């Protein structure tokens, strides 16, 4: 009797497992993705130093909308004296259409040692995916905006006046898979205004090392046409980071 009951029990358990979990079952899609990275930083331009940086990206992507937040922090010190302290916050909300999407975006920068100590940019507009394949993705954005720049203090101007400007913002975002575990990403953004123009290139190479861990090399180059006296037009930040992705 025991010889008969044991195989029968195993058969019933296996049958119930198949009934509860069909063969074509798939885990539900996760709309939330987060990236956290940190590493070495090399600065050239208005800030000459080498230190550490951190970056956090949060994305909530649903069928109708996409919310994205990016926080970057740069810090350096030499001989117990701070030489670089910069924070960037980028917020963007997309409402998806049949073709393309409508976006609202805010960019905020606090830079204690930069040519501008505070930069705030608000923009709205239209974007669309020009290419959306497995290996290559290209999205384009255009829209009007408003920019607030506060120049840094100088011996000539101890209380600088803030620059307020209406701008036209255009952006191109490219992502190219080189292999299954390596990719190149580049964002090119231009802000054209009556008082000042800027051009920013944010490019990185990412290589997956183990599961959700990746090694990332990034370069951020920003050109500002009009800068305070004794300031350079181009700022360059090069980073070497270890990145972890939450899915």
pLDDT in tens, 46-83: 766 668 899 999 999 999 999 999 999 998 877 667 87
* 210, 179 Cβ separation under 8 angstroms: no
In angstroms, the CA 207 to CA 180 distance is 9
How many Cα neighbours within 13 Å face the side chain of 191?
A: 25
pLDDT of residue 49: 61
Other CB atoms within 10 Å distance of the CB of residue 117: 17
What value does the mean pLDDT take over residues 27-32? 68
**Across all residues in the chain, what is the average pLDDT?**
86
Judge whether residue 35 has pLDDT over 80. Answer: yes
> To which residue do tokens 């992502």 refer?
175
What value does the mean pLDDT take over residues 27-45? 79
Which residues, 6+ apart, have CB-to-CB distance to 203 below 8 Å? Answer: 184, 185, 186, 187, 218, 219, 220
Tell me which of 225 and 230 has the higher pLDDT. 225
Judge whether residue 14 has pLDDT over 90. Answer: no
pLDDT of residue 155: 61
What value does the mean pLDDT take over residues 197-209? 96
- Angstrom CA distances, 29 to 26, 60, 130, stand at 9, 12, 25
Q: Which two tokens stand for residue 16?
A: 């119930």
pLDDT by residue (tens digit) across 162-193? Answer: 999 999 999 999 999 999 899 999 999 999 99
In angstroms, the CA 26 to CA 62 distance is 18
> To which residue do tokens 């926080």 refer?
71
The rounded percent of the chain whose pLDDT value lies above 70 is 83
Judge whether residue 12 has pLDDT over 70. Answer: no
Q: Residue 228: which pLDDT band, with cuts at 50, 70 and 90? A: confident
* 164, 194 Cβ separation under 8 angstroms: no
pLDDT of residue 41: 66
pLDDT of residue 112: 86
Q: Residue 45: which pLDDT band, with cuts at 50, 70 and 90? A: confident
Judge whether residue 4 has pLDDT over 60. Answer: no
* ∠ Cα 44 49 54 (to 5°): 95
Q: Which two tokens stand for residue 151?
A: 């120049």
In the chain, DSSP assigns E strands to: 32-44, 49-61, 65-78, 81-96, 101-111, 116-132, 136-151, 163-177, 182-193, 197-210, 213-224, 234-246
* 144, 124 Cβ separation under 8 angstroms: yes
Q: What is residue 30's three-state secondary structure? A: coil
The model's pTM: 0.82
Strands 116-132 and 101-111: antiparallel
pLDDT of residue 183: 96
């Amino acid at each position: 009797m025991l010889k008969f009951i044991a195989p029968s029990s195993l058969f019933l358990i296996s049958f119930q497992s198949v009934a509860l979990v069909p063969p074509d079952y798939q885990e539900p899609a996760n709309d939330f993705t987060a990236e956290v990275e940190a590493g070495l930083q090399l600065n050239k331009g208005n800030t000459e130093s080498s230190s550490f940086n951190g970056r956090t990206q949060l994305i909530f992507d649903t069928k109708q909308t996409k919310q994205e937040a990016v926080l970057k922090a740069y810090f350096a010190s030499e001989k117990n004296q701070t030489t670089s302290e910069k924070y960037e916050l980028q917020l963007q909300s997309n409402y998806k259409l049949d073709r393309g999407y409508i976006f609202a975006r805010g960019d905020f920068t606090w830079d204690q040692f930069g040519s501008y100590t505070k930069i705030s940019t608000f923009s709205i507009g239209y974007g669309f995916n020009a290419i959306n394949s497995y290996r290559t993705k290209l999205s384009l954005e255009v829209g009007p905006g408003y920019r607030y720049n506060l120049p840094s203090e100088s011996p000539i101007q101890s209380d600088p006046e803030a620059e307020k400007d209406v701008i036209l913002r255009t952006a191109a975002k490219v992502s190219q898979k080189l292999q299954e575990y390596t990719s190149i990403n580049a964002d090119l953004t231009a802000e054209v205004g009556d008082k000042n123009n800027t051009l920013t290139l944010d490019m990185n190479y990412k290589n997956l090392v183990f599961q959700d861990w990746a090694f990332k090399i990034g370069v951020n180059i920003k050109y500002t046409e009009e800068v305070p006296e004794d300031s350079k037009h181009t700022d360059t930040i090069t980073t070497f980071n270890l990145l972890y992705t939450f899915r």
